[in-house]
Amino acid sequence: MFTRSLKVAVCLAVLLVAGTTAIAGRAGGPAEDRTIVEAYSSRTYYIDFDANDWAQVEVIGDGDTDLDLKIYDMRGNLVAQDIGYTDRCFCEWNPRRRGTYRVEVENLGNVWNRFSLWTN
């Protein structure tokens, strides 16, 4: 079995390798944010993505709670989501038009969760 720190290191290595070959989706190029989301609350990002380029958003939490990831277009339509039972989420979609997308990271647990969010 892998230890938690080894799993995180492997995931980060995969992201770094994948990030060097991924087609740019976020207007302005890849980005990363590390922060916390309080218990039973959410963190919202507004991110510009280019049209017709695969857009990717990944979240990796600290392992303490369940995080969900939802992506909405400019009109409020849900375009992608990962609502599994872990704090590791990945969404990808092909934006039809350039615009600002609402990215929500929701913490379903009763304690805060420190997470990293990456975009391509």
pLDDT of residue 25: 85
pLDDT 10s digits, 89-118: 999 999 999 999 999 999 999 999 999 999
Contact 31, 59 (CB under 8 A): no
What is the number of H-type helices and E-type strands within the chain?
1, 8
Contact 57, 71 (CB under 8 A): yes
Can you give the pTM of this predicted structure? 0.79
Write the CB contacts of 34 (distance below 8 Å, at least 6 apart in sequence).
114, 115, 116, 117
Region 75-98 average pLDDT: 96
What percent of the chain clears pLDDT 90, i.e. is strictly above it?
Answer: 72
| Number of alpha carbons in the 13 Å side-chain half-sphere of residue 52 | 0
55: three-class secondary structure by DSSP: strand
Contact 55, 101 (CB under 8 A): yes
Q: Decide which of 10 and 87 is more confident.
A: 87
